[in-house]
Amino acid sequence: MKRFLYLLCVIVLLSTAWFAQAQQGTGSEDLNELYRFPLSIGVDYLGLQALSGFSSDFAIRSLGTELRLPFPFLPVLQARFSASQTSVIQNGSTGNGFWDHSIWDAGVGFLYATRFSKNFELGAGISVGVGQTYFSNLDPAGVVGSPLVFGQGELRISLIPSYNFSVDLRPSLRYSQSLGPLTEFNGVSVGFGFGAAYRFGQDPDSAAALARAFRLSGLNMPNLFAAMQSYYANNPFAVLELTNDERQELQNVEVSFFQSGYMDAPTPVATFDKVPGKAAISINMVASFNQEVFKTEGITPLTGELLVSYRYKGRAVEQKFPISYELYDKTNIVWDDDRKVGAFITPSDSALRNYVAFVRQSLKADTNPQLNEGLQIAAQIYAGLTRLGLIYQADPVSPFIKAQEKQSLLDSVSLGRDTLRRGTGDCDDLTVLYASLLESAGIETGFITVPGHIYAVFNTRIPSRDFRELYPDRSMFLVVNDSLWIPVEVTLIGRQSFFDAWAKGAELWNLYEKDQEKRAFYRTMDSQKVYRPVALRESDLGLQYGSPDALSALYKVELSRISDGIFEPLLAAATKSNGKQDWTYLGIAYAKFGRLKDAEAAFNRVIKLDANSIGAQVNLGNIAYLQRDYRKALSQYQAAYSILSKQGKQNSLTAQKILVSMSKSYTGLKDFAQARATFEKATAIDSNQVREFAYLAQVGAGSDVARGNNQDDVLLFITEE
């Protein structure tokens, strides 16, 4: 008995050592799920010794067989069926002793067995059963016996050298109870045994088991374009199908895409908690390419990898599928979505920003504060491109008209810097360049498509109701969210004036007024929410911008052509109607373009038609202000304000404009106290309307804010309505 207990202690110590070693390498895999088996058949040997109920002077040895069936939903819990033959032989006997006998029994039970490593398993089980004893020497008349029942508990320490074969040590405790008169061997016995078993199933580590569960189908990768880099990160460009060819469910499925050399890390594509056996899943492909895609030239054949990781039978598995496609460089595009142009508009390009800075600095002295800023900048850049010698040249390979008609046709769109350096471009190239330059200057842009053509448009930020501030004919504008947008036919750069390009752009837009599905307007800002601008490496173009004086001379010609284009219909309308309103609009236009004598004459025509015209009085004051005759200007403003006061309109918005103009005149006269007081009266009417003149509240305060001699202020002209 002592030897048995000693052996049991050794077993426990060995088990503890095994357990500690196993814990170091468990990893994250569920080994019980991974190495589960459907069925196990084994043989075992068990030696027992009585603890109570009968003499320990008997050797009890059992040989048996065992069948184990793991539960599918919980492989660590296994049903156990056993059968054995046990011999009970008195020590020193050869089997002919009086009490020597044999037992045949069968039992059922449960075993809980869990793996701590691939080759080590620890378990415990219980079972109950029935048996029959056979005493050969007890009765001279023959064999006698009686039925019995038993219950047994055991520990198992299993070594598993291969998936299909295991050997184990089994410390056991057994209780037997006879159901007949032969009760001498009732009681508890303890023992130690070992067994070996064959486990059916396929080794998950075998080459055959490594056959992958997923099969890729529906692989039809389109060509990809570097310019669409940002689009691909959030918008699917292809749909693939993965089919689980196994009958068993796959869990924790994660799909990603990786392109070596053009991605910093795999792009997560899709995740699925479960994929049933024989089921298919659709994968919407996205890709987060890095900046290296912009360095490619022409067409680059690539092979990426679709990475699929999942858990199969409790084991982490990864499959890789090669995906081949062609990557087109940053100048290529197909016109399945006109908004793609937004990806080529690059206002942050330092080369373009430098050129815009040169143009604006060169024409700073020619900038008129009374004219719309957007209109002037657009005309200045137009003149600058003309001065550089930029001209339109149709794409000889895939002109826009063909690419637009056949959306799958490959087209080439140059970035603004490339068109600027080359000096030529087709309609899409020039649209991209012009919009990029305007955006660099802070002017909001868009683009228009009509059959076979694309051209630029920009936002003046003038409310649509005030269209006459720019041009008397409303059809010369697009109205977007109540703002006036000016279209520019960019292919006329270098051939005709800015005003001609404006008029032609409006004509093309209006041509499809009755067939509006053939024309489209896109805001650059909205397009770039989907197709962000391509990334560029900073580099100087080394361009010779030319003489600022020559650019100034050319811009003055452009400005003159714009003014002539505006004056002509206004003069015709005023001459024809001889109405106050038409003469007022003509006078305001003259004043804004610096033709002050003509403006004064037009406003005096209004005075002849209506001596009490408030608008004419204020506008004549504005002429005097531009001529730096601040006293005369103040007198005109005061006269107009007096008329309004008599009419009880001293708190109207017109009165507010007059008060602001009076404050500006007082500032010009260096009467800062009166300037501040007058502006406070204007603010009291509606402070929101006069925010841009807030400096008037601080004139003469010691800081150099007195702007009385500054002609950069926008004058507040008043129209007759």
CATH number at residue 294: 2.60.40.10
CA distance 351 to 420: 9
Show which of 145, 170, 199 is a domain's final residue. 199
CATH of residue 687's domain is: 1.25.40.10
Range of the domain at 383: 335-548
- Shared domain for 493 and 388, answered yes or no, is yes
Selection from 536, 491, 531 nearest residue 336 by Cα: 531
- Shared domain for 477 and 522, answered yes or no, is yes
Do residues 308 and 323 lie in contact, with contact meaning Cβ atoms separated by under 8 Å?
Answer: no
- 716 within some domain: no
Dihedral through CA 276, CA 280, CA 284, CA 285, nearest 10?
Answer: 100
Q: Determine the 3-state secondary structure of 21 from DSSP.
A: helix
Residue 27 confidence (pLDDT) above 80:
no
Selection from 278, 281, 280, 274 nearest residue 312 by Cα: 274
CA distance 346 to 683: 41
Per-position b or e across 612-630, b if 16+ CB within 10 A of its CB: ebbbbbbbbbbbbbbeebb
- Shared domain for 79 and 152, answered yes or no, is yes
Which pLDDT does position 22 carry in this prediction?
46
Give 603-645 pLDDT, tens digit per residue. 999 999 998 899 999 999 999 999 999 999 999 999 999 989 9
- Shared domain for 282 and 392, answered yes or no, is no
Q: Which contiguous run of DSSP H or E holds residue 366?
A: none
CA distance 273 to 190: 48
- Shared domain for 169 and 184, answered yes or no, is yes
Cβ neighbours of residue 611 closer than 8 Å, sequence gap 6 or more: none
- 591 within some domain: no
Residue 550 confidence (pLDDT) above 60:
yes
- 562 within some domain: no
Residue 10 confidence (pLDDT) above 60:
no
Residue 395 confidence (pLDDT) above 90:
no
- 607 within some domain: no
Helix, strand, coil fractions of the chain, as percent rounded to 5: 35, 30, 30
How many Å separate Cα 603 from the centre of its chain? 58
Determine the straight-line distance between the first and last CA of the chain, rounded to whole angstroms. Answer: 121
Which pLDDT does position 404 carry in this prediction?
54
Most distant pair of Cα atoms in the chain: their distance: 156
pLDDT confidence tier of residue 26, bands split at 50, 70 and 90: very low
Give 143-164 pLDDT, tens digit per residue. 888 899 999 999 999 999 998 9
As a whole-number percent, the residues of the chain with pLDDT over 70 amount to 90
| Amino acid at position 122, single letter | L
If one counts the domains in the chain, the total is 4
Selection from 262, 254, 255 nearest residue 224 by Cα: 262
Do residues 126 and 97 lie in contact, with contact meaning Cβ atoms separated by under 8 Å?
Answer: no
Which pLDDT does position 366 carry in this prediction?
93
Write down the H helix ranges in 197-329.
229-234
CA distance 508 to 478: 12
**HEC profile of 104-125:** EEEEEEEEEEEEEECCEEEEEE
- Shared domain for 283 and 348, answered yes or no, is no
CA distance 362 to 358: 6
Residue 198 confidence (pLDDT) above 90:
yes
Please give the backbone phi and psi of residue 170, each rounded to the nearest 5 degrees, phi first. -135, 90
Residue 24 confidence (pLDDT) above 50:
no
- 704 within some domain: no
Q: Determine the 3-state secondary structure of 539 from DSSP.
A: coil
Greater confidence (208 vs 317) lies with: 317
Q: Mean pLDDT, to the nearest integer, of 573-578?
A: 94
Do residues 115 and 32 lie in contact, with contact meaning Cβ atoms separated by under 8 Å?
Answer: yes
| CA geometry: angle 544, 547, 548, nearest 5 deg | 115
Q: Determine the 3-state secondary structure of 196 from DSSP.
A: strand
Show which of 150, 175, 199 is a domain's final residue. 199
Do residues 258 and 313 lie in contact, with contact meaning Cβ atoms separated by under 8 Å?
Answer: no
Which pLDDT does position 397 carry in this prediction?
58
- Shared domain for 316 and 339, answered yes or no, is no
Candidate from 349-358, 398-407, 515-524 with smallest mean pLDDT: 398-407
Do residues 693 and 716 lie in contact, with contact meaning Cβ atoms separated by under 8 Å?
Answer: no
Q: How many CB atoms lie within 10 A of CB 27?
A: 9
Greater confidence (576 vs 395) lies with: 576
CATH of residue 185's domain is: 2.40.160.20
Per-residue DSSP letter, 556:
H
| Amino acid at position 41, single letter | I
Show which of 328, 356, 387 is a domain's final residue. 328
Selection from 395, 407, 399, 361 nearest residue 380 by Cα: 361
Which pLDDT does position 105 carry in this prediction?
95
- Shared domain for 84 and 105, answered yes or no, is yes
CA distances (Å), origin 439, targets 346, 348, 366: 8, 9, 21
- Shared domain for 393 and 531, answered yes or no, is yes
Angle, in degrees to the nearest 10, between helices 373-388 and 427-440: 130
As a whole-number percent, the residues of the chain with pLDDT over 90 amount to 68
CA distance 39 to 33: 14
* Mean pLDDT over each residue of the chain, to the nearest integer: 88
- Shared domain for 535 and 423, answered yes or no, is yes
Query: Which residues partner with 172 through β-bridges?
Result: 154, 191
- 209 within some domain: no
Per-residue DSSP letter, 371:
S
CA distance 509 to 503: 10
Residue 15 confidence (pLDDT) above 80:
no
Cβ neighbours of residue 9 closer than 8 Å, sequence gap 6 or more: none
CA distances (Å), origin 278, targets 34, 244, 250, 271, 281: 20, 5, 10, 18, 10
Selection from 506, 524, 511 nearest residue 338 by Cα: 524
CA distance 172 to 126: 10
Q: Which contiguous run of DSSP H or E holds residue 592?
A: helix 580-592
Which pLDDT does position 691 carry in this prediction?
87
Burial class (CB in 10 A: 0-12, 13-18, 19+), 691: exposed
- 208 within some domain: no
- Which tokens is 622 given? 């504005």
Please give the backbone phi and psi of residue 330, each rounded to the nearest 5 degrees, phi first. -70, -5
- Shared domain for 190 and 121, answered yes or no, is yes
Do residues 475 and 506 lie in contact, with contact meaning Cβ atoms separated by under 8 Å?
Answer: yes
- 176 within some domain: yes
Burial class (CB in 10 A: 0-12, 13-18, 19+), 712: exposed
Write down the H helix ranges in 512-547.
524-530
Dihedral through CA 561, CA 565, CA 566, CA 569, nearest 10?
Answer: 160
Give 175-191 pLDDT, tens digit per residue. 999 998 888 888 899 99
- Shared domain for 52 and 194, answered yes or no, is yes
